[in-house]
Copies of this chain bind each other. A is one copy, B any other.
Amino acid sequence: MTSKEEISPENYANWFALYQLCKHIEHRQTINISSVEFGKLLNLSQQTASRRINDLLELGWIKRKVEKKSQKIVLTKRGSDVMLLMYKNLKNILESIVILGTVQSGMKEGAYYVSIKGYFDQFQERLGFLPYKGTLNLELNSTNIDLLREKLKNIKPVIISGFEDDKSERSYGFVDCYDCFISRIDNPDDKIKAAILDIKRTHHKENIIEILAEPYLRDYFKLKDGDKLIIELNVNR
């Protein structure tokens, strides 16, 4: 069974030691590292690094063989459980610290509206980019949709005016857009400037939003349905 042990102040130094070790795993859960080298990783002395290794041994998080030139350290089942537990917890935490959207296969209506010249020209002018002729649909869970709505209240929308189409004699309403940045959850540094189409006026279910961006986001981020994206708004926090 996976151990449920939490990292408490008595051993978070040890958790970090394990974390640094894991970052240097080479093959088959194995690390070859001397205590001097390990000390450098930890910004600590050889003596303390050596003591850390012994602590990890005692916790049952690693096994090792001391050899002449260095020591061969192997992560135990218990050790990998410790890392897994932290991963799992962080994953949960992320749901409450960033706004996450799940990629959904779009109904093609988005593409139609974006393409309409009366809208398209305004998008280019007021959003500052020439949008791809289609939208990416993101599903938000209820926590995230609330968080998003709350944040949008404090942001000035980019207003896309309505207009009349002479030929079809139809009138098109105004649309509010909100500047944002989109990134993959596993690579938050690669951000794309994008815009959220006003969620009040979409024909979708309440928890789905539509994203406009210059590139075709499915290709740019290599997305599949179900992938998670971070939606970042320009609010000071």
Please give the residue numbers on chain A whose beta carbons come within 8 Å of chain B beta carbons, in ascending order: 1-2, 7-10, 12-13, 16, 19, 22-23, 25, 27-29, 42-44, 63, 74-77, 79-81, 83-84, 86-91, 93-94, 96-98, 143, 146-147, 150, 185-189, 224-227, 230, 236-237
B96 pairs with A25, CB closer than 8 A = yes
With A88-B186, A188-B2 in contact, do A12 and B8 touch (Cβ < 8 Å)?
no
Q: Which residue of B lies closest to A12 (CB)?
A: B16
A237 pairs with B22, CB closer than 8 A = no
Q: How far, in angstroms, from A89 to B22 measured CA to CA in the complex? A: 10
CB distance from A49 to the nearest CB of B (A): 11
29 A-B pairs with CB atoms under 8 Å apart are A8-B43, A9-B42, A9-B43, A12-B12, A12-B16, A19-B90, A19-B93, A22-B93, A23-B89, A25-B97, A27-B143, A27-B146, A28-B150, A29-B237, A75-B97, A79-B97, A80-B237, A83-B94, A83-B97, A84-B94, A84-B97, A84-B188, A87-B87, A87-B90, A87-B91, A88-B187, A224-B225, A224-B226, A226-B226
Say how many copies of this protein the assembly contains.
2
B9 pairs with A97, CB closer than 8 A = no
Specify which of B9, B27, B91, B94 is in contact with A44 (CB 8 Å cutoff).
B9
A2 pairs with B84, CB closer than 8 A = no
Chain B residues contacting A86 (CB-CB under 8 Å) are 90
Chain B residues contacting A1 (CB-CB under 8 Å) are 189
CB distance from A16 to the nearest CB of B (A): 5
A63 pairs with B2, CB closer than 8 A = no
Chain B residues contacting A79 (CB-CB under 8 Å) are 97
| Given pairs A10-B43, A83-B90, 4 additional interface contacts (CB within 8 A) | A12-B16, A28-B147, A75-B97, A86-B90
Chain B residues contacting A147 (CB-CB under 8 Å) are 27-29
Q: How far, in angstroms, from A108 to B219 measured CA to CA in the complex? A: 28
With A87-B94, A93-B22, A93-B23 in contact, do A81 and B188 touch (Cβ < 8 Å)?
yes
**CB-CB nearest 10 A-B residue pairs:** A80-B97, A25-B96, A87-B90, A22-B93, A224-B226, A12-B16, A84-B188, A77-B237, A76-B237, A2-B189
Chain B residues contacting A9 (CB-CB under 8 Å) are 13, 16, 42-44
